[in-house]
Structure 1
C-alpha cells in the first residue's frame, strides 16, 4: 500500500469511481472475488476515522477470516490483505469481495448487477455508522424474498432436517428454540437446521410458522406439499404376509374414519406419521419395536430369526398369500431349545474356538435365535462402561449379578440395585452403579416385555402355515450368561458372535463339557458335529480295609464310574481337566456329568492321589497298593461331604465319626483325687482329651484365657495316673515358661494334692525327678539344654503349657520339644497363632506329630486349599470362648486413650522418625527382605520407646512424659476408691518410670519382671492376690502376661501397645477370668499421631488372622507378616 499522497476520509470512498474495482487484478481474480462477494464472504466492515482506513473481514477456507485494508489516496483505491496470494501478487479475491461490499454499503451500488438482500446491506451500513434505514439509489434494485422451510430429511428416531429458502427468519427460529447465527448472511451462514424431539416440538413448530407467515413443506414426487396438523390421531396395525418363500411385513395406518392413509415418513420415538398429503398424524408407538419400518421384506428364515424378539400381540394381522390366516398354537412339549456346536480349526488343524448356534425347534421348524443372542449380549458390551469390563473380577461379578437377577422372579419391572449391594459392593459403587443399572434394566426388559409373556410367531413355509409358541427367555438368558466365564470384554464380544475361544494347546473338550453341563442343568439339548450330546452322571466310591488290628493304616481302592462304564485311572487326569468325553454305542458324545458335590470330590480325590504319586508317573493311580495312615484318612473321610461313597470298617467308622462330630464321647469320670467341682464344659473338654488319648492322637486345648485349661489338664492327668497299670516312673512331663512353675505347683497342691509333683529346674534334678515323681514340671529352656538326658526316657503324656512358645518351627526350643519321646501330647494355649500360619503349623504339629507333613507342603496347601488343610486339624483343636460359656462372668470394657505428646517429646519423635526412615530404606535396599525386616523392627523399637518416654533412650526431660503424668493421677484416684490395678509394659524402662511416679505420689506397689528371681515370684503374686499387699502390680508383659490368676485387679493398663492383640488379651485376662466378681476396665495408652496409633490397624490384622485360623478354620487369610509397606505406613503416623 502506497504511503505517498494525502489520505481521504469516508467522503473519498463515497466519491470513488466504481471502475477502481476492476483495476485490483486480472479478470480471473475479479470474477472469483465477485463470486466470493455474492456468497456473502464479507462478514463485516469497520471504519477507522483516525487512520482514515476501512477494515474488512473476509471469510477464509479454514474458518478464520482474512483482514483486508482499504484506503483512498488522491482519488485512487489502495489495498492490502494478509493472505498469501496478496503477498505474492499484490492482488486477491478477498480484496475484490471487500471492495464490492464497500461500494454496496457506501454508495449503494451493486457491482456486476449482483442483487444482495436488504438486511445484509443494512448490516454493512450500520457497521460503518450510517443510518439504519438503507439509502437506495436508482441503480440498486433489491427485492425482499419470502422465507420457505422445506423438510429435507426425517429421522425415524425423532429429528427433522429443514432447508431454508430465502432469508433466515432469526426471530422465528429463536421463538421455537432453534439456535441460528445473528446474521442471516455470510460465507458460512447457516442455511439448514434440525428440529429435535419432533414428537413434542413439531405441532408447536407448525403453529408458530403459520403465525409468522412461513410456509413449511414436504417434497413428494418432486412437488412441494404444505404440511398441516391432522385433527385426530390414527391407528397402526402390523401385517405380515407369507408370499411364496418371502415374508412381507408392513405397517398399516388407518384414519379415525377408517380410511387407509398413505404414509411417507414415520417418527417412532415421537409417535408421528407424515402422509403424502402433508398431514401430520399422531399414533401410539407402544406396539412397535425401535427397528420397525413402514415396509420390509424377509426370507422365511430371516423373519423367523427376528420374530423371537417380538410378541404375537393382538395388533398383528397374519396372512398367507394376502388372505387372512390364523396361527396354530404349539404345545410346550413340542418346543425344544437346542444348542448346536462345532469346533473350528485353523490351517494347522489346531482348535481355536467353539462355534455355537442357539435354536428353538417348533414341530418341524427350526428357528435360529441368533438375533436374540446378539440383542442380549449387546445390552452388556454396548453399554458405556468405561473401566467396568476391563478387569476380570468385575466381569465375573457382573455375570454373577446378572444371573442373580435372572433367578429373582420378584425383581419387578425396574431393578432395585440396593437388594444386591451387600454381595456386589464394587458394582453398586458410584463408579459403576449407573452403567450396571442400565445393563440390568435393558436385560430385564426382555423378561417384562411381550417377548416373555406373549406367544412368538414362526412361519412353516413347507406347510404354508403360521405357528405360535412360547419362548422361555429367562432360561435362554441364563444359558447365555452361564456358558463361560469371560475374562474381559473380548470374551463377551465373542459370545455375542456365537463363539467361545479355546485356549492354545487345549483340545476344546473342556469348553464343550462346561457348555453341555450348563445346558443340561437348564434343560437345553446340545448337538455336537450334528449328533446329539447326552450326559451321564458320575459316581465315585472308595473301599477301605484296615491293615492290622490297631487301625493305624488303611488300604484304599478308589473307583469312578460313568453310567455302566468304569473310567480307567489313566483317564482320570483328562476327566478332572474337563477334557474327557466318552462315545456311546450309537456314536453320540457322552459328557460325564458333575453335580455340585461330585466335581469338588473329584478334585479333592485327585489332590490326594497326587500326593501319593511317584515322580514320573503318568497316571494318578499307578497300580500299586494305595495306603493311608490314620491322620491321612481324615482327608479321605472329608470326601463324603462331596457325595463320595467311602466305606470303612465299622470300628474305624465309629472312631472317625466321633472325631469329626465331637459326639458319642464317653462322659468323663472325674477321679476322686481331683478336689474340685468341674464345670460342664470342663468335663466335656476332659472327655475330648481323654478320647484322643485313648486313640493315640494328640490334642490342642485352645480355650479362651480364664476358662480353666490348667484344671482340665490336671483332671485328665489324674485320671490317666489312676488308670495306669504299669509302674513306669515319671509318666507325665509338663513343659512351661519359668514364671509359671510355681503357679502349676500351687494348682496341683490345691486340686490334686495326692499326686507326686516334682519341679525340675536344674540339670542335676533330672535323676531324682525321673525316678521319684509322677508328674515333672520343667521349663522350655531346660528341655533345650538337657536333650541328652531326656532322650533316654519315654513319657506317657507330655503337656506343653503356653504352647505358643513353640510357634517358631526353626527355633532350638521347638526342635528339642518335638523330639521328646511320648505317647500323647497335650498343648495348652489361648493363642495357637499370633502372627502367621507357620506358627499354627508349629503348634499343631507338636500336638499331633505328622498332621500337616512338611512345612513346605503345608504352606502350599494353605495357599491353594486352606479349608481342606485346616479341616484336617479341626478334630484335634478345641476352642471355647468366655462369651459363649461364662455368661455369669462380669463385663470387660476396653478402650484406647489418646494422649498428646509434650513439645520436647514431639521434637525428639520427629527427629527419630527421620533417622528410622533412612535406616529402614537402606536396609531394604542393601539386605535380603528377612534381614531387612529384623533391622526395621529394631529401628521401629526406638520410636515406640519415645512414645512411652524419651528417657527410655537416655533423653532427659524437664518433667515426666504424658503417660506417666496421667498414670500418676489415675493411681491416686484408684487408691482412694479402693480399686486394684495391673500395669503392663514390655519395657523395663517403662516399669522404672512407673515406680518413680508411684513413689512421687506416695502409692505402694508391687513389681515383677524377667529379673525377678523365680523363688520370689510366688510370694509377690500371693501378696497381691490375697489382698495382703499393695493394690497396684507393675508387670512386664512377657513375665506376667500368661498363666497367672490376678482377679483382685479390676483395672488393667497397657502402657505401650504390642503388635499382637492376642498377647494383650492374655495379659488383660489375668484379671478377667473365673473368680472375678467385678467388671474389669482395660485401657491402652496411645500417643496421638504416632506409630502407636498406626499399630492399632496392624493389630486388627493379627486379630483377623487368629479368627480365620482358629475360630473359623478354612477361610483364606490376608498376609499377616510385616512387609516393607507396613513399615512405611507406620512411619507416616
Structure 2
C-alpha cells in the first residue's frame, strides 16, 4: 500500500500534511483522481469528492463552433484550441498555449474572446504584450474580430482611460506599463488575464513576474512559443501565474523536480509531465506541416581573411590564458563575468575586426553576405539579415549602400510607428528586398512573410532565439519555401557555439510531453574547447 500512496506524497508541497490527512491544490485533481483510484484511497474531503464526481460526468472536451462573426476561418488545430479553452474555463484552470512560432496563437485567443461575447458573456480581458506587439494585436483584432472593442492602454495619455475599462472587451497594455501601473491595474477584477510572449515572466524574481502575480483574474492564459529556454524554473514561474500552487513552492519544486530530473530521474520527469499536460497545449510545425511550406536550414561557412584571422587568434590567446588562470584561482562560479566577456569578444572578432576596436579590415562573413544577397536579389527574392550586434549591422548597411542594395532597418531603438511603417514597406511587393534586424529586437512580434530567405550573421547561445528570428517569415500566410542560413566563421567560436546549441535543444524536445531537463553548466573542459 505504501508504494501506491507514495506518488500522492510526491505531487507537490501544496499537498500539505495535516495530522493524518494531506491537502492538495485543486488543479491536482485530474492527476489525483487517477492516483487515488490506483491506491484505492477512499477518504477524501468534500471538495475533492465533488471534483471527482464532476470528472466522472465529464465525457470529453466538447466540440465548439467557431464564432459566427469571425472574419476568416480557423485551421483544424486552431479550432481545437477553442474547445481546450472552454475545458480549462469549465474546471477553473489556467493554461499555456505553447504552439510553435507562426502557428497563429493570437487569432486563436481573439476567436475565443469573440466567442465569449457572442455567448453574451460580458467580460473584459487584460492582454499584456511586448511593446512591439501592440499594433499587431490591434491589427489582428480589427481584421478578424472587428466586433471586439479594443482599448490601447499604453502611452502618456493612458491615465485618462482608467475609469472606462469595463466598456471594452480587450484592454491592451505592455509589460512596461504593467510594472508602472500595477497599483491601478490590480484594482480591477479582470475576467481574463492573458500574457503574450509570457517568457517575459520566466524569472519569478523579476518585477514583471511579481506584478503579473498581483493582478486578480477569473481565468489566466500564457502564450509563448518558447515556454522553456534554459531551465525548469522558467516553467514554474509561468505555472505559478496561471495555477498558483500547482507545482508547489519554488524551493521544493527545485528539489523535487529540477535537481532530480537533471540527474536523470525518469519517474519525477513523468510525474511532472502528468502534472502539466492538461494545462499545456503545444503544436509544433511538424505536427501541422500541411499548413506550412517546408523550412530548410543550412550553414554558410566563411573563411576569415588573414588580417581578421590574426586579430581573432590574438584575442583568443589573450582571453584563454586570463580566463583559465582565473578559473583555476577563483573557480568557475566567480569567473562568470570574465568568461562572458571573453566569449563576447571572440564572437565579435569572428564577425568583423571593427567590432573589437581594431582598424577595419576585410571580413569573411561580410564578403559572403554581399555575394549571397546579390544573387538572391537578382533572382527576385527577399531576405532578412539578423545580427545581435548593431555595430555589425551598421557595417552591413554601409556595404549595401556601396553596392546599391536597398534595405529596411530595425533595432531596439526604432520607434513603434517607424517600425510599423518599415515592416509595411518591406512587405510590399515593390518594397526593398532586404531587411536588416537586430536579433533580439526582431525576434518577436513581426510578420515578415514577404521574405523567403533568412541570414543569421552570428549564432546565438540560445537556439530558441534564433528559431524565433527564422519564424518571422516561416509562419502561416507564407506561400513559399523558406531557407535559413547561419553564417559561421571557420575555426572560430562560431563552430563551438553551434555545438553548445545542441546541448540546449533538448529543452524543447520533451516539452510536448510535459517536462524538460536542466542545461549542463559549462565546465573547465568546455572553456578549453571554446577558447581553443
Fold conserved (TM > 0.5)? yes
Which of 404, 415, 433 is matched with 1:1013 structurally? 415
Tell me the distance in 1 between the aligned counterparts of 2:9 and 2:161. Answer: 54
**1:375-394 matched pairs, under 5 angstroms:** none
Which residue in 2 is equivalent to 1:839? Answer: 234
Which residue in 1 is equivalent to 2:519? Answer: 1119
Asked if structure 2 preserves the Cα contact closer than 8 Å seen for 1:919 and 1:936, the reply is no
Which of 387, 411, 416 is matched with 1:985 structurally? 387
Tell me the distance in 2 between the aligned counterparts of 1:925 and 1:809. Answer: 33
Tell me the distance in 2 between the aligned counterparts of 1:677 and 1:820. Answer: 33
Asked if structure 2 preserves the Cα contact closer than 8 Å seen for 1:757 and 1:775, the reply is yes
Tell me the distance in 2 between the aligned counterparts of 1:691 and 1:736. Answer: 24
Asked if structure 1 preserves the Cα contact closer than 8 Å seen for 2:202 and 2:235, the reply is yes
* Greater RCO (CA < 8 Å, at least 6 residues apart): 2
SS at match of 1:860: helix
Matched, 1:1033 2:432: no
SS at match of 1:1038: coil
Give a deviation string over 1:43-71, Cα, whole Å, max 9, x none: xxxxxxxxxxxxxxxxxxxxxxxxxxxxx
Which residue in 2 is equivalent to 1:687? Answer: 83
Which residue in 2 is equivalent to 1:907? Answer: 310
Which residue in 1 is equivalent to 2:292? Answer: 889
Q: Return the offset for 1:762.
A: 2.6
Tell me how large the CA RMSD over aligned residues is: 2.6
Please identify the structure whose Cα radius of gyration is greater. 1
Q: Which runs of 5+ in 1 are unaligned?
A: 1-559, 561-575, 577-598, 615-620
Tell me the distance in 1 between the aligned counterparts of 2:81 and 2:324. Answer: 50
Asked if structure 2 preserves the Cα contact closer than 8 Å seen for 1:732 and 1:775, the reply is yes
Which of 8, 19, 40 is matched with 1:622 structurally? 19
Matched, 1:933 2:336: yes
Matched, 1:633 2:35: no
Give a deviation string over 1:262-311, Cα, whole Å, max 9, x none: xxxxxxxxxxxxxxxxxxxxxxxxxxxxxxxxxxxxxxxxxxxxxxxxxx
Matched, 1:669 2:68: no
Q: 1:1071 to 1:630 in 2, by over 3 A?
A: same
**1:777-796 matched pairs, under 5 angstroms:** 777-796=172-191
Matched, 1:762 2:155: yes
SS at match of 1:957: coil
Which of 52, 77, 80 is matched with 1:653 structurally? 52
**1:991-1070 matched pairs, under 5 angstroms:** 991-1070=393-472
Which residue in 1 is equivalent to 2:265? Answer: none
Which of 1095, 1099, 1105 is matched with 2:501 structurally? 1099
Give a deviation string over 1:815-859, Cα, whole Å, max 9, x none: 112222211111111110111111122223223222212221111
TM-score (norm 1): 0.44
Q: Which runs of 5+ in 2 are unaligned?
A: 261-267
Tell me the distance in 1 between the aligned counterparts of 2:56 and 2:400. Answer: 59
Q: 1:1059 to 1:654 in 2, by over 3 A?
A: farther
Asked if structure 1 preserves the Cα contact closer than 8 Å seen for 2:13 and 2:252, the reply is no
SS at match of 1:1093: helix
Which of 603, 609, 617 is matched with 2:6 structurally? 603
Tell me the distance in 2 between the aligned counterparts of 1:1008 and 1:610. Answer: 46
Matched, 1:948 2:351: yes
Matched, 1:773 2:168: yes
Q: Return the offset for 1:924.
A: 3.9
Which of 270, 285, 289 is matched with 1:867 structurally? 270
Tell me the distance in 1 between the aligned counterparts of 2:326 and 2:41. Answer: 56
Which residue in 2 is equivalent to 1:976? Answer: 378
Tell me the distance in 2 between the aligned counterparts of 1:775 and 1:876. Answer: 23
Which residue in 2 is equivalent to 1:482? Answer: none
Matched, 1:806 2:201: yes
Matched, 1:876 2:275: no
Asked if structure 1 preserves the Cα contact closer than 8 Å seen for 2:175 and 2:208, the reply is yes
Q: 1:607 to 1:1076 in 2, by over 3 A?
A: closer
Q: Return the offset for 1:769.
A: 5.0
Asked if structure 2 preserves the Cα contact closer than 8 Å seen for 1:635 and 1:868, the reply is no
SS at match of 2:199: helix
Tell me the distance in 2 between the aligned counterparts of 1:612 and 1:690. Answer: 27
SS at match of 1:796: strand
SS at match of 1:881: coil
Tell me the distance in 2 between the aligned counterparts of 1:964 and 1:899. Answer: 9
SS at match of 2:287: helix
Q: Return the offset for 1:745.
A: 1.2
TM-score (norm 2): 0.90
Which residue in 2 is equivalent to 1:331? Answer: none
Q: 1:658 to 1:680 in 2, by over 3 A?
A: farther
Q: Which structure's residues are more often strand, by fraction?
A: 1
Q: 1:609 to 1:791 in 2, by over 3 A?
A: closer
Q: Which structure's residues are more often helix, by fraction?
A: 2
Tell me the distance in 1 between the aligned counterparts of 2:233 and 2:62. Answer: 34
Q: Return the offset for 1:973.
A: 1.0
SS at match of 2:307: helix
Asked if structure 1 preserves the Cα contact closer than 8 Å seen for 2:308 and 2:361, the reply is no
Tell me the distance in 1 between the aligned counterparts of 2:348 and 2:13. Answer: 52
Asked if structure 1 preserves the Cα contact closer than 8 Å seen for 2:13 and 2:249, the reply is no
Q: Return the offset for 1:920.
A: 3.1
Q: Return the offset for 1:928.
A: 7.5
Q: 1:859 to 1:762 in 2, by over 3 A?
A: same
Which of 477, 490, 493 is matched with 1:1075 structurally? 477
